[in-house]
Every structure is written in structure tokens, then in C-alpha cells.
Chains A and B, each alone.
Chain A
């Protein structure tokens, strides 16, 4: 049980109770001062202390004090909280408000950030004590900046320290963090105020966890300014080999977004900080153009490049697009697809993924028959069997020899790769035997649910929701029966060569394997249980298709693709950086702590030096992940004073942030906002779809209602009357005594 007071200031009247007590106990009642010739005789008399006489009047004093106390309490208008309905009403009035603020790169445009901060402050100003407020910011990840607090000033102070970063937008990440706060809250009124420019890409590519039940989602759109931009969205590097020299032609894709974006610009190519070429670009309407620059002869150590946009008055138009490129060997891929006359082309997306520029050069030979000779496969790095039966006979043997000799094999199953057509001679080479087709709900399909993110294939997909690995939908895939025991290896395969048994690298949401590997001899075999076209899934239609295919291919061929650039916020393992720099080898065993806490105890093997002179230690430990926060060229150096850069990586702002495509906030609310909680009696209905901050029950109104119902003040005043009556009676009986006191 507890008390609230409607007018607590009157409790100050309780201080007045102390006054008569102080007067009675402390002050020596002196009366009129009279000069008297001598106290010689009076001193000899037993003069009683006035104070001692007063003690006998305690009952009277207590009655008077009690009356004063009850008067002060009555005026303060107390409300009893009995833990029942009234108490519940008061509790129902208390809010937990989470401000979720978008600080992605796109929020730095125009006045979006200033508007967003103003909106956040306005939200804080509308809070009523004891509402609780917290602050979550998000770009690629969501972070709780201020934990729930009764002090809006703390949140306001935090707003002063935050600025937009370079990261992309993941609205779902921000809502995820806010949902965590609300889940832990003990208040029934839960509100999220989402302030963003609502880039569509920021919602489509991220998590979409439902909000806790009863959460009210209020959206504030600060991106309705119509701002546009012209930016370099990507660079592809077309590798060519001419007369033994490797040359690279940078091709820049320039996009114009928004009617207000400039239509003309100068585009410059800089190599090692020197301008080498300049062109004009004009985009008359929203769209994109590709600008090709002259081929560059690559020096042995590689080159740092940047492409800039300048206005016609030579003003820089945003950040340059950086890249690095080093000489690399062409990877030879033999793609074997459906037989001649097959109805469908199973490889268009795969071919595109293999041949897209920007990574290590890949030379793809496509054939429709799985007839190989050993000689043919000698210079092939990777054989891809795309939904065809595994070859048997001499071709099969040649292919198996190829694998054992260190070549790569990537098997893609589909409707044509029936398991009963696979020779048992392949059992020692494959991670499992392909089985029946699994049909999934044609409406929802299956998704990738478990991914071995420590595997080199998926290292780049660590962080925020796996950067979209869970979004593709798979409607059919084949079972993969993993062997209970490893099949006996071929006689030629020694124990040292057959080091690893089958490994499942990714599974669907029903646990069925999606991607599995087996290391055989010196080679690697990977098996994908669905198609790589849009026959059994929409995988090729998702952005993650390209990097997944490239990584699988690179791993299967035991190649490491040089990445010309990374994006801000993209998680990178320190092990990956050390391997790319050649500081450690790919197979080198290092402590895998699995937690960042233990990473601190791992030895430092290298340093990631930033353009601003700062550095991050690289341990290579399994849990050691980095997210580079800002654009620039970064160098990976071995540990040791005075070491030189072994590898350079280019980091760019997330160009997806330039995509002006926006979503209607109501669309988002409909997607994830749960039904609003039933309003407490007497409260206004709460509208979670208007985007306005809810005008729910004012806690003070609730307390007033409770006080009006209880009317405790009446009982207190009755008590006052009774005490004063008693005081009158008691004072009358002890009149001489009262006179002495009064």
C-alpha cells in the first residue's frame, strides 16, 4: 500500500508542527523582565522549572500537534494506493517511451538530422513525470545510447553528442534494440518513436522482428524533403590480360536520384592521389550511366584508386569512391550445365555472378557435356556441375583425380540431378548423398536459418542479420543424407589427405542441409541442395546471391578473391585481414575464443591503421570482429614498430544510402506494429497509425480521479474535529495547568 498526494506542497505545513514543540521544549519562557533588588530570598525557594510543568501537558500538546498534522495531510489530498484497481489505473498511466533515431549516412543530407533531433527533443518535452525515456540509434546496427531513465535531460544531453555516421540503414536493427527495452519494461504503456528518412532499402534488407505486444509505434518522417543526389554507386574492374600484362579498366556507375539532384557533373579518376582522367557526365532524368575509364596497367604492388564527382564549378560532390586493385591470377572455371536441348538455361544467374567485374578475374568456360579428360582439367581451378548427373566412367575418374589433385568441385543439385543416377564411386568425395525433393509452402518457402559464419565462405556475412542471408526464399530443395560414418576413402587417399569429413555449412529453417563441403585430398567439394536459378528459389534475385556465389566459388577453388572495396559498417574478421595481408596463412591455427572478452588476451599479430592515424590491433582470434566506421584507405601491417603495409583496403560509405526510394511509414507500421493494447477506463483511445505522439491518459488526471473517489481528506478533517473537541475538553479540565502553558 502506498500514498500519492494531489497537492503535495501542502505537506510543507507539517513543518509548522515543529514550531510549538520547539517553543515548548527549547524556549525558556521568561515572561516580563523585572529588575529586583535581590534574589537572595527567591533563590532559596524551590522554584519549579516551567519546562517540567509543561511536560505534564503532553496529552494536550499531542492533540494539538495531531490536529495540525491531519490538517496538512487533508490539504495535501492524499490518494491511497491499495494495490487494487486504483493502483492499476495509476500504473497504467505510466509510459515507457523509446526514441529510435536513424543516424545512417543518408540522414546527413540537407537538414534531415537537425529535424530528427528537433523531433526527438519535442518527444522528450511531451513526456510527463514519471514517464521513462530511452534512446536507441541505428545505422547498420542498433545501439542503446541511453537506458530507460526518468530524467529526459539525460536523453537530451545524449542527442548533443550524436551525429550521423557512414553506415547504411537497418530500421529493423533499431526496432530490434527498442523491442528489447520494451520487453524488459514493467510498464503497460509502451511506445516507440521512430525518427528516420525511411529508406525502403533500410527496411527490406534487415530484420523484421515483431514488436512486443501492446507496443505503440509512432513514426516521424524527416526524409520528405525531396533531396536528391548524384553519386558513384559502384565500380567494376574489368581485368584483361594482354601480352602477359594485366590491365584493369575501371567502370564507374553513376546514379542520379531525386528530381533535385544535379544532372551534370565532372567525374575524375585518381590513381594514388593523382588525377589521371576527367570526363563529363550528364543524367537527364532519374537513372544511371556507366562511365568507363582508360585501362590501367597494374603495377606489381597494386594501386589505390578513387573516383570523384565534382560540380561544374569544381565543387566536390560528396565522398570519393575508393578502390584498390592488385594484379591477380585468372581463375579458370569450367561450368557444366544441362545437356544439349535442355528446356531451361540453368546458369544465367550463375554465369553473371561468376563473370561480374570487381573481384578476381574469372574465366568461365561453359559446356553442356560432362565429358572430361585429365588434360582438359589440368588448368581448371574449379568445375561446377550445375544440376546435371555426376559423371561416371573415365570422366568421373578424371574429375575425381582433379579434386584429389587440389582442384575444386561445386555440385549444384536440382530437378535433373536425381540421386539414383549418382555412382557410388562418388560417395567418398561428396559430403552426402542427394535425396528426394522437399517441397515447401509455395507462399512462404524456406529460408536459410543456420549458417556457419566462422567458415571463410560466410565471414563477410557476419553482423546485422547476416546482411540479408535470411531473405531469399527456397521453395524446393533436395534432401542430403549425410553418411553415418565416413565412407571408406579410396585406397590412394591417405589419412593425412582425408583430414575432414563432411561439413554442413548452411541449413534451411527445417534443418535440412543447404550447403555442405568435404575436403578430399588437396581439393574441396561443395554441394548446394537447391538450384542457382529461379526455378526452385528466388535466391538469384537477392543481393546476397552474388557475394555468396563468389565466396563459394573462391573457396572451392581455394582462391581468395581480392575485394576492391568494402563498405562502412561491414563486419570484417581480423583473421580475414591478417590472411589477406599474408601475415598468417589460411590454414594457420589460432585460438578461437568465440567471445570478444577473451580476444583481449590473444596476442596481437597485426595492426589496422586508419587514415586519421588511429589503429586497431588485430589478433586473428575467432571472435575478433571489426566494423570500420568511416571511409578511407586502411593499411594492414604486421605487429612491430616501423612495419610497412602488407595490404591496403578501401572503405566507402554505404552507397545504398544514396537510394532515395522511400517507404511509407504506415507500410512499416502495418508490417510489424502489434494491435494496440486495450485502453484503460477513462483514457482516450490510442491511435498507433497516425504518427502523432499518443495522447493517452494524463497520470495527473488518473490520480485526481482516484483522489476524488477516495476523498481521504474528509476523514482527515473529521479526525481534526475530533482532536480539537478532545483538546477543548482536556484544556477545560486542566485550566490552571493550561494557563501555565498558554
Chain B
């Protein structure tokens, strides 16, 4: 498994401090966070060598003072002697639904940012970005069952942010029954972002993912993990308590670290394989890393959908 550490922040450019989850944690206000993340991302995106390459052109509009000169379509000027600006986001009325895991395990975090904080920032940022794209946004939170539902609507951004803000990862979660519950609700097809730590047998995701596909939705699965979960950094004798089941296990981590990592790597790989096989994106999101990669993948996915109408199938895991 390629180290996720290659996806370090700083490669986007200035403004990326808004994408650092630690910084975002200190902001506190979720809307502000979302706005800052999105604008910072977009700002960085313009400076990025990848700019314009992975985002498809949508339409022209007349130039207005203040528009970014790099967006001026000079070919169109040559043809028309008029200044036109390329629009990369088209008003497509896509439905974007966030499925946010609010189970207890999401509350884990060895640093300043817990998985749930990260997932909240991500959900909020994606929602904000979605609205900026002109799409409709909605959210559904779950632990062992669906807790909160905000249907997709162009006017529901604030409600979505509010729902994210007030959600707490304080209940036991069971991903399988929760997803079944999600699937039982007839949502609108569109883009779906599942934000969870995915402590489930990968095969259990096959059915709900297939169901979403059959509905015509594209799915991005953000596999949120803390670096401590990835590394098992503890020393000496410890007793680990399962945050979901409260089971305890005394152990010596140093003895088990290698084996644990292998197990986790295998799990992540298998998760990616299963999700890919059902046409979903699997994005491993380390909570210690900036949110830009996650947002980038969102845009890619949306762009594919805009282009093909059916969504993108490639897996990045």
C-alpha cells in the first residue's frame, strides 16, 4: 500500500493553511471553516499545475472586470473580438448527499483533531463546495441507524451545516445496519459521499454500494482514520478498550505492531478492491493530513459525472 504520507499538505500552494485540520479546529465555526476550506482550496487550485487539466470546461460567459485573466478564452476572443471567460463549474443541479458516520469510534483522535472533527470539516467543506457549484446539498447522519436526515436542496446548506455541528459521536455504531437503513430511504440520485472509519467487513459494503449504483448515484467513500489507528504507536503494556463494544484487551503493542499494520493494510486494500468493484471511490483520509486531497477527489468525481453523466469509476486506492 503506498504510504498516504505522500499526500502531504503544502503541494497545493499558499492558502493551504486553511486546509490544515488543526487550524480548522481552532476556528470553531463550521460555516467559517467550510468557507475557508473551499476558498482556500479553490485558490490553491488556481495555482496548481493541475489546474484546468482535471476540471472540464462547462460554458462561456462574458468577461466582467475582476475575473481571473487566466480564465479568459483567447481563442474565443480571436474568433469574436469579445472577451469571454470559461466557466468550469456548470449549473447541473446535481444532488450531493453526505453520509456522515456519527458512531462512537469516530470520536477517536490522538491529536487535536478527532476523526469526527475531520469528518465534520470534510462534510461541511464538501457541502459548501457543492453549493458553490450550484448543486443541491443534503446530509444523513447515522450510527447503528439513521439519526438525522436533511434532504438535498439548494436552500439546505445552512441546515446541513447545523446538522453537522450538532451531531455528536456518542452512540454505538454498526455500519452494516446503518447503511441498510440509509438504503431504505429513497433518496435522489446524485453524488454521495460516505464519511466513515469503515470498521466493517468490506463485503458488507458491496450490497449498499450496488444499490446506490443502481439508483444512478456516484459514491465517494472517505475512509477516515487517525494516525494512531494506522500506526498503533503505544509503548509498554496497555489495555485497549473498544469504543463501540467496550471490550478490553490487555496487550503489548510493540509485539503486535507489525502484524496489526499488516492486518489494517490488508483491510484497507480489500475495502478499496470491493468499493472499486462496485464503482465507488475509496479515499483513505488521514486526519493528520489537509483536506485538499479529499476535496480534489470530490471535484474529480463531479467532473466525471458532468462529463459522462454516469460518474467516474476509477479507484484511487
Chain A residues in the interface with B (C-beta under 8 A)? 28-45, 47-48, 50, 740
Contacts and interface: CB of A to CB of B under 8 A. Distances in A.
A441 B234 CA distance: 110
Contacts of A32: 234, 236-239
B243 A38 contact: yes
Interface string B246-264: 0111111001100110011
Given A34-B239, A36-B241, A38-B105, A45 B260 contact: yes
10 contacts: A28-B250, A30-B237, A31-B250, A33-B238, A33-B239, A35-B108, A36-B243, A37-B197, A37-B229, A39-B247
Nearest to B263: A41
Nearest to B201: A40
Given A29-B250, A44-B263, A45-B256, A39 B240 contact: yes
B236 A31 contact: yes
Given A33-B241, A37-B105, A45-B260, 17 more contacts: A28-B250, A29-B237, A30-B239, A32-B237, A33-B238, A34-B241, A35-B243, A37-B115, A37-B197, A38-B105, A38-B197, A38-B199, A39-B249, A41-B264, A43-B249, A45-B259, A47-B249
B249 A42 contact: yes
Nearest to B226: A37
A45 B258 CA distance: 11
Interface residues of B, number: 32
A348 to B, nearest CB: 113
A44 B266 CA distance: 13
A734 to B, nearest CB: 16
A36 to B, nearest CB: 4
B242 interface: yes
B315 to A, nearest CB: 22
B189 interface: no
B249 to A, nearest CB: 5
Contacts of B259: 45
Contacts of A44: 263
Contacts of A37: 105-106, 108, 115, 197, 199, 226, 229, 242-244
A33 B256 contact: no
Interface in B103-153: 105-106, 108, 115
Q: Which of A31, A37, A41 is the most central at the interface, judged by chain B CB atoms within 10 Å of its CB? A: A37
Interface in B163-200: 197, 199
A635 to B, nearest CB: 92
A556 to B, nearest CB: 108
A599 B264 CA distance: 100
B263 A36 contact: no
A87 B199 CA distance: 76
A130 B103 CA distance: 75
Nearest to A32: B238
Nearest to B103: A37
B305 interface: no
A45 B263 contact: yes
Most buried by B among A36, A42, A50: A36
B273 interface: no
Nearest to B256: A45
Contacts of A30: 237, 239, 248, 250
In the A-B complex, the 6 residue pairs with the smallest Cβ-Cβ separation, listed nearest first, are A31-B237, A37-B105, A41-B263, A38-B199, A36-B240, A30-B239
A91 B106 CA distance: 79
A35 B244 CA distance: 10
B60 interface: no
Secondary structure type dominating chain A contacts: loop
B46 interface: no
B177 to A, nearest CB: 16
B243 to A, nearest CB: 5
Given A44-B263, A45-B260, A47-B256, A38 B242 contact: yes
B267 interface: yes
Nearest to B249: A39
Nearest to B108: A37
A34 B235 CA distance: 12
Contacts of B245: 39
A34 B240 contact: yes
A28 B240 CA distance: 14
Contacts of B105: 37-38
B256 A42 contact: yes
B244 A38 contact: yes
Nearest to A43: B249
Nearest to A36: B240
Nearest to A47: B251
Contacts of B243: 35-38
A32 to B, nearest CB: 5
A36 B242 contact: yes
Contacts of A740: 252
A30 B245 CA distance: 18
A44 B105 CA distance: 18
A47 B197 CA distance: 24
Contacts of A42: 240, 249, 251, 256, 260
A34 B233 CA distance: 12
A35 B106 CA distance: 12
Contacts of B251: 42, 47
Contacts of B238: 31-34
Contacts of A35: 108, 240-241, 243
Contact of B108 (A29, A36, A40): A36
B234 A39 contact: no
Contacts of B255: 48
* A28, A33, A41, A44 — most chain B CB neighbours (10 Å): A41
Interface string B262-274: 0110010000000
A34 to B, nearest CB: 5
Contact of A39 (B236, B237, B242): B242
A30 B238 CA distance: 6
A353 B256 CA distance: 118
A56 to B, nearest CB: 14
Contacts of B236: 31-32
A38 B107 CA distance: 11
Contact of B199 (A34, A40, A47): A40
B228 to A, nearest CB: 8
Contacts of A33: 238-239, 241, 248
Contacts of A31: 236-239, 250
A584 to B, nearest CB: 96
Nearest to A49: B250
Contacts of A41: 260, 263-264, 267
A45 B248 CA distance: 14
Nearest to A29: B237
A712 B199 CA distance: 66
A29 B252 CA distance: 11
Nearest to B246: A35
Contacts of A50: 237, 250, 252
A32 B251 CA distance: 10
Contacts of A28: 250
Contacts of B237: 29-32, 50
Contacts of A29: 237, 250
A41 to B, nearest CB: 4
A47 B239 CA distance: 12
Contacts of A45: 256, 259-260, 263
A28 B237 CA distance: 11
Contacts of B226: 37
Interface string B47-61: 000000000000000
A47 B251 CA distance: 7
A699 B65 CA distance: 117
A133 B267 CA distance: 85
A36 B255 CA distance: 17
B5 to A, nearest CB: 20
Contacts of A48: 255
A36 B109 CA distance: 9
A399 B259 CA distance: 135
B239 to A, nearest CB: 4
Contact of A34 (B106, B234, B260, B267): B234
A638 to B, nearest CB: 94
